[in-house]
Homo-oligomer: A and B are copies of this chain.
């Protein structure tokens, strides 16, 4: 699966056996990451970005890759995540297909992709594998962890594993555990994929992937990532036949929009990796083993915590952002909870830069 590993990625090939949270061990793992800016002499200006489900480590341009990254307006010199100030590290999640080891990687024993032989990946594994990159870079303490969506969960798990190893934590549109509506959507997305006759219990051919299931899953994803308000504003009931009309659809602009998103996604993400990471999102519960979220985050020492949420996010609703903020507050962490009026739903952090750039900028200007 080399289709989508960004040019200029750096790789940590780690030969320490990696024990997965739910069982299973790999003799070695690789992690793709990218960095921007310079680590200062005190080695205390590191900012780690953990990502949502599908992005690679290529958050922004750098000399080895001048293609736009997935968070281009956010990361760079003079931008909110200011690479003149910070040494920024973005890590591709373990289990992904964008350079880090995952179900699409080659199992050295068999010479074939791991697929379902790969141990189940959890958010805890994404976090603990990220630690290897931070260790490798010789950073004892990060200035900040930044995590949107799944990255916010991974960041939270990372801080639970490394309670004093970052001074600030910015989480965006995330939660400490998924609620049933979000679980239901993702469960149905996964069912779309495994129901595809080309899924073949994970033994699909790379030339003939379960594209129909992936397309359905992506469309359902888009319905949960954006918002009804945005769709009404952008598309209304406007008719637009961009793709082949069939007996029961493809009349409306909203349908073309979803089809475009689906077509783009199908070629760009390995179905098995998608299933693993989607499932990891549902399994994670930061409170597991504790009586409450307050108790679960109590060991985390931070100088400040910022929670940003969006009113129209139906996947990670505002009350979950509030729970997260309250849990840190209850432990005496200086916490701010910011609610943005973006209409683009969960994806707002990737598109509503008018609101997100100043919000992130203002917060990061307060940390040092």
Contacts and interface: CB of A to CB of B under 8 A. Distances in A.
A85 B191 CA distance: 49
Interface in A143-188: 177-181, 183-185, 187-188
Contact of A179 (B180, B220, B232, B251): B232
Contact of A188 (B190, B258, B285, B314): B258
Given A249-B279, A279-B248, A285-B237, A232 B181 contact: yes
B219 A252 contact: no
A228 B185 CA distance: 11
Contacts of A254: 180-181, 183-184, 187
Number of chain copies forming the complex: 2
Interface string A279-292: 10011010000000
Contact of A212 (B181, B195, B231, B249): B195
A194 B246 contact: yes
Interface in A238-252: 246-252
Contacts of A248: 187, 190, 194, 275-276, 278-279
Interface string A309-320: 000001001000
Contacts of A246: 194
A212 B210 CA distance: 15
B181 A220 contact: no
Interface in A203-256: 212, 216, 219-220, 223, 227-228, 231-232, 234-237, 246-255
Nearest to A315: B228
Contacts of A212: 195
A223 to B, nearest CB: 6
A253 B237 CA distance: 36
Contacts of A181: 223, 227-228, 231-232, 254
A197 interface: yes
Interface string A41-84: 00000000000000000000000000000000000000000000
A116 B184 contact: no
Given A248-B275, A251-B283, 16 more contacts: A177-B237, A180-B252, A180-B254, A183-B237, A184-B254, A184-B255, A184-B258, A187-B248, A188-B219, A190-B249, A194-B248, A195-B212, A220-B220, A228-B314, A237-B285, A248-B279
